[in-house]
Structure 1
């Protein structure tokens, strides 16, 4: 019989094709191999209800509630101001969820809790000495608000700055109480990582992973492109501002130069929820925005080259690993390749100047693939970046008898000082 673990998240951790849910899903999947999972989650979109039954294969118990943000937005802001809490905390504060959590903890005699987003942390009694709590700060709510502030005007900015201050206070308070704080290596979270170093609590930064069995280039995929096209692809969430900035720069500054040299070059921007600045990019010759698709693999399998010009985003590392796992040549920025167990060498290129980007992509579009080199890099990814490996420090902390690869432990240790408290 496996020990019990409570898994809490502010969004249903499925499907993994939605990049914002990918880490949550694979963490759930890996944890389910060692624990009996009780999953509590909110449903953010009506279409997500169709996935609830699928999650039962990894969970002993499940409990889902609809996200009430849109229906209660005005009242939530009023309540947040009255209580001195963040708006995000208020919309995630539902009595039915608290009642289920209290009941399932007692029923399953829970001693371990994994909190996939700090917005769910207020449901857990951190002062319980018998409870081991792990909080994942990879997707910081305060960082999302910070991005909105930079792109908003008054009076919206006034509300958002107040919200940012409250969220940052709540996040640091949570980190001060958790048994273990998890993060990623993204430069976006630099200020928060600096705060973690001041906190006398255990903390780990985990590398990203990839499902190499799913992203298998040896399978047959129907070509979604026209035969005569030379294809560049950018996969990623298209309402995520680092991605928006990256594709906007590429379409305006780089792609016209590429198309002047390769007339049949076509750039496919592929992802969910494209915001208006991304949608308008489809007006440029040879640029396509694809938001209705069920599987990214055919696009990667038949592309001549994938690009990752993102400088900061951790999700860029996910799309890099997926492209390499699909044996697709890759051109990326230095920041996108940082902290991955791969080398920037043919057919994986790290470029900085505009001319370097143009030259390398033109080369990829006009030269045959180096299949042997692609296969070699994929072998490295399979060995070093599968999810069981990248999550091994978390499993070890939770008491699972598992060997941690040296590079993963070194990665975790060098990023944030790791405390001495164990899960017991």
Structure 2
């Protein structure tokens, strides 16, 4: 079976939210058949990245979308009444390569990683292919969340993007066979927004690489250490870091003068870098391996006020057997689950109480950490999480995959 997979960013290395999911989707698809990967990139692509992708996919092509031309395409898209996102990820070069592929290869299934690249699946010659759109999140609601917290003129811009992306999501649900989202809450939100449609809307939650994020022996840090991970050029993480450091961290330091807060993640923005001047705040930025930092921390925090879907940062901390304190927004993607072993905090007072409770009680930290690892093992193994993606694949292929999964899980 031939599968075309179009992603809005390179799916490797799996070092941030969308790349993590897309990398595991790519590997999942490669178990079904021959994958033709077409990706866009907003940064240079190292040869090592292409080498890994070529070992996984039958064919790989990519095109840059950056600089002035990207902004111009976004403007043209807006003038045509479409979303800025569609224009930003529209590449004539990639489109031409896809036309060549479609002209020489019969694709049985076509998959894309976001609404902004869904238009590539409507190429002439793909009419008979099964079309699966992995929306992940309801992006229109994300843009509305941005608008709600912004001031003019950004408020106007975000509100317009929310409207146009919402229309795009409704259109996709009329021509795709399958639309997947990262949680049942996101799937239900989309169903409520689009009403009756052709597509089957279902959830395919994120997993975590349980072998990679495998905790070693617990070592108590010399100082109380909190860790906040993520891409710090991403608006929700920037907002969360600023809010936590300004409204919560001073109270933590008042109770625990030796406490350290580490912000670990790629491309910290100027506002985030400036937080390093605060007592006890360390801006570590990009690190080659996040696991030693998670392992050495007392508590993992996820103070997100703007969040959609399921947060990889929470999953990774749970898998590493870390006690987690998170905002309700950061945990929404897990659904209403009494077994989720994480403390929730909304107000600064609640954050102070939860953090103090954990820092004072090592046994509670270790108990939550152990339960977190077990929760990740039960609910977030990638092989099982992505099964809904294959629901509409040819029956013979799905049966073969089920048999392979059973063999892997039985250890035979």
Could you tell me how far apart the structure 1 residues matched to 2:311 and 2:82 are?
33
Q: 1:302 and 2:296 equivalent?
A: yes
Q: 1:107 and 2:104 equivalent?
A: yes
Greater relative contact order structure (CA < 8 Å, 6+ sep): 1
Moved more, 232-241 or 162-171: 162-171
What residue number does 2:82 align with?
A: 85
Q: Which has the higher helix share?
A: 2
Cα shift readout 1:42-70 (whole Å, capped 9, x = no counterpart): 12101555512211121011011111x41
Cα shift readout 1:240-277 (whole Å, capped 9, x = no counterpart): 33333333332222222221121210111222232343
Map 1:146-225 → 2, pairs under 5 A: 146=144, 149=147, 161-185=159-183, 192-218=190-216
What residue number does 2:247 align with?
A: 253
What residue number does 2:69 align with?
A: 72
Could you tell me how far apart the structure 2 residues matched to 1:132 and 1:152 are?
39
Cα shift readout 1:373-402 (whole Å, capped 9, x = no counterpart): 633431331132111111112223324126
Moved more, 163-172 or 234-243: 163-172
Instruction: Assess if the C-alpha contact under 8 Å between 2:4 and 2:110 holds in 1.
Output: yes
Could you tell me how far apart the structure 2 residues matched to 1:35 and 1:234 are?
38
Instruction: Assess if the C-alpha contact under 8 Å between 1:12 and 1:41 holds in 2.
Output: yes
Q: 1:277 and 2:235 equivalent?
A: no
Q: 1:337 and 2:335 equivalent?
A: no
> 1:39 Cα shift?
0.1
Could you tell me how far apart the structure 1 residues matched to 2:29 and 2:155 are?
40
What residue number does 1:418 align with?
A: none
What residue number does 2:95 align with?
A: 98
Aligned residues: 397
Could you tell me how far apart the structure 2 residues matched to 1:316 and 1:183 are?
10
What residue number does 2:136 align with?
A: 138
Say if 1:146 and 1:314 are closer, same or farther in 2 by CA, change over 3 A: closer
Specify which of 234, 239, 248 is matched with residue 240 of structure 1: 234
Could you tell me how far apart the structure 2 residues matched to 1:106 and 1:243 are?
42
Structure 2: gaps spanning 5 or more residues: 404-412
> 1:235 Cα shift?
0.9
What residue number does 2:50 align with?
A: 52
What residue number does 1:121 align with?
A: 118
Instruction: Assess if the C-alpha contact under 8 Å between 1:114 and 1:133 holds in 2.
Output: yes
Task: Report SS of the residue matched to 1:263.
Answer: coil
Q: 1:368 and 2:362 equivalent?
A: yes
Structure 1: gaps spanning 5 or more residues: 405-424
Could you tell me how far apart the structure 1 residues matched to 2:159 and 2:372 are?
44
Task: Report SS of the residue matched to 1:33.
Answer: helix
> 1:146 Cα shift?
4.3
Say if 1:358 and 1:82 are closer, same or farther in 2 by CA, change over 3 A: closer
Moved more, 118-127 or 334-343: 334-343
Instruction: Assess if the C-alpha contact under 8 Å between 1:76 and 1:90 holds in 2.
Output: yes
TM normalised by structure 2 equals 0.84
> 1:316 Cα shift?
5.7
What residue number does 1:380 align with?
A: 375
Task: Report SS of the residue matched to 1:277.
Answer: helix
TM normalised by structure 1 equals 0.82
> 1:101 Cα shift?
1.6
Say if 1:291 and 1:77 are closer, same or farther in 2 by CA, change over 3 A: same
C-alpha RMSD of matched pairs (Å): 3.3
> 1:284 Cα shift?
1.9
> 1:205 Cα shift?
2.0
